[in-house]
Structure 1
Amino acid sequence: MTETFARVAEFALNRTADQMPESAREAAALMMLDTLGIVIAAAPMKAGRIARDTAALLYGTTDPTFSARMLCDGRRVSMAGAAYAAATQTDNLDGHDGYNPTKGHIGVAVIPALFALAERRPDLTGPDALAAVVAGYEIAGRAGIALHATVSDYHTSGAWNALGVVALAARLRRHTEDQLRHGFGIAEYHGPRSQMMREIANPSMLHDGSGWGALVGISASILAERGFTGAPAITVEEDRAVPYWQDLGTFWQIEHQYVKPYPICRWAHAAIDGVRAVMLEHGLSHDQIAHIDIRSFHEAAQLYPGMPQTTSQAQYSLPFAVAVHAVHGRIGVEHISGPGLADPVVGGVLKRVSVNERDRHNARFPTGRWADVRVTTHDGRAFESGDVHARGGPEAPFSREDVIDKFLDFTSAEIGAEAAKKLSATILNQHDAVSRFSDVVTQLHSFYQG
């Protein structure tokens, strides 16, 4: 057992809520709220329906003690199946949190795994649930950074957020250090090392591989629990990975996640925000705009260029997202699905958008996601945004109220405004020592009974 793994195991299995900063636990509550908002908003979408039905077909269990209800559904499947369905559902409404250094997402796998596992822990207190979320984020984030730093391909989040799921599962199921170590090894070995840029070039329901990250993470933990062995995880124990774990327990990555204002690939957000700022400052409407010239980083410039035909393409299209926001002043589920994909006004504005890369923006990626825009009007005026960083991250953070407002905006249409407010309050009350996480679970499932 390496010194690094011993440090990770001590943190994952034994670090209690009161040994974590209040700011980290507050961040965990907000990330839980934000992720659940996307889970709920994504419930009626095609990808989520397919994922839930497939989990019911393929990922059931003969043992009730290993079962869980699927979120936004209620049918019982295996814990791994429930986590898979909710993570896939969430991944396909690209509005969940992320972390710049990992170039990906953690909560999309960790939060669904928490709900799947918590059904077997009715005694789980709110503070302990938040501590488990913190552990999952801290370990997944460092595994992601280590993976990106030691291999040539840019892998999807499922390749590494599976390790965060293992950490959370080991903590909730009271695993030994040895079981945790094998769980890491199994999850890393079987994690979906899929190529992110392949999905960017061909947008589909595959998205960021996080459904499989959640499935693999819980499956690996149960395998380890039952004695299955796995080789030590390279992203944790190899010599090259050691530096990325040195600040575990001193620097809290969970406090540095970004929250997305829009259910669109994060790479497009700076451009959207730049156009938004110019239009607000100068009182412009979309019909006054003759051209929008966007300058950003290489990866952003590779996003889908045309009018999308599917929700997946819409979420990976920078020009479409900019055009939607220019026309509607926001980007909601209705704009990236159904009739929104054929909005002729948006299509007209999209034809007036151009995207190019700039070296200075390339140099800032992935730590920063920058863009600048030039908006030209039909009467010959031109407005520059200057360099803009995407809102919602450490550089331009959302307040607690901003996160709550986003949750209410995304969920009210699905469960009702009053129910959304009640659920928000229950989640944010998990700091209370006498709170029970089962209150959140019960309340969420009550919306989908019958």
Structure 2
Amino acid sequence: MTNTFQTIAKFALNRRVQDFPDSALEAAALMLLDTMGITIGSGPMQAGQIARDSAVALYGAGDPGLSARMLFDGRKVSVAGAAYAAATQTDNLDGHDGYNPTKGHIGVAVVPALAALAETVADFSGPEALATVTIGYEIAGRAGISLHDTVSDYHTSGAWNALGVVAVAARLRGLSAEQMRQAMGIAEYHGPRSQMMREIANPTMLHDGSGWGALVGVSSAVLAEKGFTGAPAITIEADEVAHHWRDLGSFWQMENQYVKPYPICRWAHAAIDATRALMREYGLSHQDIAAIQVNTFHESACLFQGMPDDTSKAQYSLPFAVATMVAHGRIGVEHITGAGLSDPLVAAIVDRISVAETARHSDRFPQSRVADVVMTLTDGRELASGDVHARGGPEAPMDRDEVIAKFMEFATPPLGVSRAAAIRDAVLGLQSPDAKFSDLGALIHDAADNR
């Protein structure tokens, strides 16, 4: 067992709740709330329905001790199936949090795993829930950075957030350090090392692989608990990645996640925000705009062009996102589903948008997502935004009230105001020493149409 893994095991299995900074636990509560809002908002969408029905068909639990109710559904499946269904559902509404250095998302797998695993263990405190979420984020984030630093392909989040899920499972289910080590090795070996740019080029319900990350992470922990073994995880134990783990417990990635203002791929957000800023500053409407030139980083320029014909393409389309902001002044679920996909005003604006890669923006990726926009107005004026950071991250953060308001925006349509507000209050209340996870658990399993 390497020194790096011993450090990780102590952090995940033995660190006391009181040893986590309050600021990290506060961030964990907000990220838990934000992720839960997207889980709720994505529930009626086709991908979520398919994921839940498939979990029932494929991932039933023969062992009652390893079964769990699916979030906002209520049907029981295996604990791995419940984590898979919620993570896949959440992944298909691209509004969940992320971390710039990993080029991906953590909460989308960690939060569904926490909720599923909580069904298999005795109740635990609210602060313990937030500490466990933090552990998942800290370990998944560093595993992602280690993977990106040591391989040539750009892999989806499921390839590495599975290791954060293992950490969550190991802490909640009381695995030994050796069992956790084996589970990490199993999860890394079987993690979905799917190639992200293939999905960017051809957007589908595959999204960022996080459903499989959750499935693999939980399954690996159960396998290791039963005695299955796996080769050591090289993103943790290889010498060349040791430096990525040295700040574990001193630098809190938990406090540096970004929150998405829009349910659109993060790579499009800087261009959306630059467009939004110009329109607000000059009091513009779509009728004032003749053309928009978007200058962005390479990965962003690779996003889907033209008018999308399904919600997956809509969430991975930069011109469509910018056009929607121009047309409606916001981007909600209704704009990326149903009639929003054939909005004639948005389609007309898409035709006025050009996208180009700009070297200075590419040079700052993945640490930053920056773009600039040049608008040509119908009166002949030209307006330049200058370089704009995507809102919601450390460079341009959303405040606490904005994150809470976003949750209510996404959670209210499926659940109604009273149930959404009760979940909001329960999540934020987990910081109280007297809180129990069951305070939240009692609210998140009944089907969404139980209003």
User: TM-score band, normalised by the shorter chain?
Assistant: over 0.9
1:149 and 2:149 are equivalent in the alignment: yes
Distance 2:144 2:394 in 1: 19
- Specify the alignment match of 2:439 in structure 1: 439
* Structure 1 residues 311-337: Cα deviation after superposition (integer angstroms, max 9, x where no partner): 000000000000001111111111001
- Specify the alignment match of 1:428 in structure 2: 428
- After TM superposition, give the deviation of residue 46 of structure 1 in Å: 0.3
Distance 1:124 1:137 in 2: 19
Write the mapping of 1:268-279 to structure 2, written as runs, cut at 5 A: 268-279=268-279
- Aligned to 1:293, what secondary structure does the other structure show? strand
- Aligned to 2:379, what secondary structure does the other structure show? coil
Aligned residue-pair number: 450
Write the mapping of 1:111-130 to structure 2, written as runs, cut at 5 A: 111-130=111-130
- Specify the alignment match of 1:34 in structure 2: 34
- After TM superposition, give the deviation of residue 64 of structure 1 in Å: 1.1
Distance 2:54 2:272 in 1: 35
Distance 1:72 1:129 in 2: 19
* Structure 1 residues 2-35: Cα deviation after superposition (integer angstroms, max 9, x where no partner): 0000000000101121101000000100000000
- Specify the alignment match of 1:188 in structure 2: 188
- Specify the alignment match of 1:233 in structure 2: 233
Q: Which amino acid aligns with 2:320?
A: F
Distance 2:387 2:4 in 1: 40
Residues 156 and 194, structure 2, Cα contact 8 Å, conserved in 1:
yes
Residues 389 and 396, structure 1, Cα contact 8 Å, conserved in 2:
yes
Distance 2:220 2:364 in 1: 36
- Aligned to 1:373, what secondary structure does the other structure show? strand
Distance 2:196 2:324 in 1: 25
Distance 1:68 1:442 in 2: 13
Q: Which amino acid aligns with 2:361?
A: H
Residues 122 and 438, structure 1, Cα contact 8 Å, conserved in 2:
no
- Specify the alignment match of 2:45 in structure 1: 45
- After TM superposition, give the deviation of residue 63 of structure 1 in Å: 1.3
- Specify the alignment match of 1:316 in structure 2: 316
- Aligned to 1:319, what secondary structure does the other structure show? helix
1:98 and 2:98 are equivalent in the alignment: yes
Residues 426 and 440, structure 1, Cα contact 8 Å, conserved in 2:
yes
- After TM superposition, give the deviation of residue 123 of structure 1 in Å: 2.1
* Structure 1 residues 24-60: Cα deviation after superposition (integer angstroms, max 9, x where no partner): 0001000000000000000000000000000000000
* Structure 1 residues 237-263: Cα deviation after superposition (integer angstroms, max 9, x where no partner): 001110100000000001000000000
Write the mapping of 1:317-332 to structure 2, written as runs, cut at 5 A: 317-332=317-332
Residues 157 and 210, structure 2, Cα contact 8 Å, conserved in 1:
yes
- Specify the alignment match of 1:62 in structure 2: 62
Between 1:152-161 and 1:408-417, the stretch displaced more is 408-417
Residues 104 and 157, structure 2, Cα contact 8 Å, conserved in 1:
yes
- Aligned to 1:431, what secondary structure does the other structure show? coil
1:394 and 2:394 are equivalent in the alignment: yes
- After TM superposition, give the deviation of residue 449 of structure 1 in Å: 7.4
Q: Which amino acid aligns with 1:131?
A: A
Cα distance change on mapping 1:8 and 1:239 into 2, 3 Å: same
Q: Which amino acid aligns with 2:275?
A: V
- Specify the alignment match of 1:211 in structure 2: 211
* Structure 1 residues 169-190: Cα deviation after superposition (integer angstroms, max 9, x where no partner): 0000000000000000000000
- After TM superposition, give the deviation of residue 444 of structure 1 in Å: 1.8
Distance 2:91 2:448 in 1: 20
Between 1:436-445 and 1:242-251, the stretch displaced more is 436-445
- After TM superposition, give the deviation of residue 430 of structure 1 in Å: 0.3
Distance 2:439 2:65 in 1: 20
Residues 72 and 446, structure 2, Cα contact 8 Å, conserved in 1:
no
Q: Which amino acid aligns with 2:113?
A: A
- Aligned to 2:443, what secondary structure does the other structure show? helix
Distance 1:251 1:332 in 2: 34
* Structure 1 residues 386-417: Cα deviation after superposition (integer angstroms, max 9, x where no partner): 10000000001111111000001111111112
Distance 1:123 1:314 in 2: 40
Distance 1:447 1:412 in 2: 14
* Structure 1 residues 129-170: Cα deviation after superposition (integer angstroms, max 9, x where no partner): 001000000000000000000010000000000000000000
Distance 2:223 2:160 in 1: 18
- Aligned to 1:41, what secondary structure does the other structure show? helix
1:307 and 2:334 are equivalent in the alignment: no
Distance 1:449 1:7 in 2: 45
- Specify the alignment match of 2:384 in structure 1: 384
In structure 1, runs of 5+ residues without a counterpart are none
Residues 73 and 446, structure 2, Cα contact 8 Å, conserved in 1:
no
TM-score (norm 2): 0.99
Cα distance change on mapping 1:371 and 1:172 into 2, 3 Å: same
- After TM superposition, give the deviation of residue 121 of structure 1 in Å: 2.8
- Aligned to 2:347, what secondary structure does the other structure show? helix
- Aligned to 1:136, what secondary structure does the other structure show? helix
- After TM superposition, give the deviation of residue 447 of structure 1 in Å: 5.3
- Aligned to 2:442, what secondary structure does the other structure show? helix
- Specify the alignment match of 1:369 in structure 2: 369
- Aligned to 2:180, what secondary structure does the other structure show? helix
Q: Which amino acid aligns with 1:186?
A: I
Between 1:418-427 and 1:134-143, the stretch displaced more is 418-427
Residues 138 and 254, structure 2, Cα contact 8 Å, conserved in 1:
yes
- Specify the alignment match of 2:333 in structure 1: 333
- After TM superposition, give the deviation of residue 436 of structure 1 in Å: 0.6
Distance 1:407 1:150 in 2: 36
Distance 2:434 2:447 in 1: 24
Residues 80 and 214, structure 1, Cα contact 8 Å, conserved in 2:
yes
Distance 2:229 2:444 in 1: 36
Distance 2:50 2:120 in 1: 26
Q: Which amino acid aligns with 1:106?
A: I
Residues 73 and 447, structure 2, Cα contact 8 Å, conserved in 1:
no
Residues 122 and 437, structure 1, Cα contact 8 Å, conserved in 2:
no
In structure 2, runs of 5+ residues without a counterpart are none
- Aligned to 1:355, what secondary structure does the other structure show? strand
Distance 1:291 1:17 in 2: 54
- Specify the alignment match of 1:175 in structure 2: 175
- After TM superposition, give the deviation of residue 381 of structure 1 in Å: 1.3
Q: Which amino acid aligns with 2:355?
A: V
- After TM superposition, give the deviation of residue 214 of structure 1 in Å: 0.0
